[in-house]
Amino acid sequence: MGQVASVAEVNLPPEAWRAGNIYWRINSTLNAGYVLVVSHRMPICHLTGGGAEDLQPVVVEVLASAEFGSA
């Protein structure tokens, strides 16, 4: 996870929320991940995801794991 200077248009929040944005890239695999957009000027949290892989099976597996359930 790391802060980045900019993100692709598809990852941006609606135009009304594009003030004081800070962008974070969260890699889940080498070819897929999430982009988190927050703002220091308004209370928003905009999360998008995508890439070359379907992340749902991995997320379902993690949520069903004993380790996650005990956290």
Cα separation of 71 and 63, whole Å?
11
pLDDT of 28: 80
Say what percent of the chain tops pLDDT 70.
97
pLDDT of 4: 96
Alpha helical stretches, state H, 1-71: 56-64, 66-69
Q: Is 55 exposed, middle or buried, given 0-12, 13-18 or 19+ CB atoms closer than 10 A?
A: middle
Band the pLDDT of 71: cuts 50, 70, 90: low
Residue range 9-35: average pLDDT? 92
Q: Is the pLDDT of residue 2 over 90?
A: yes
More confident of the two residues 16 and 50: 16
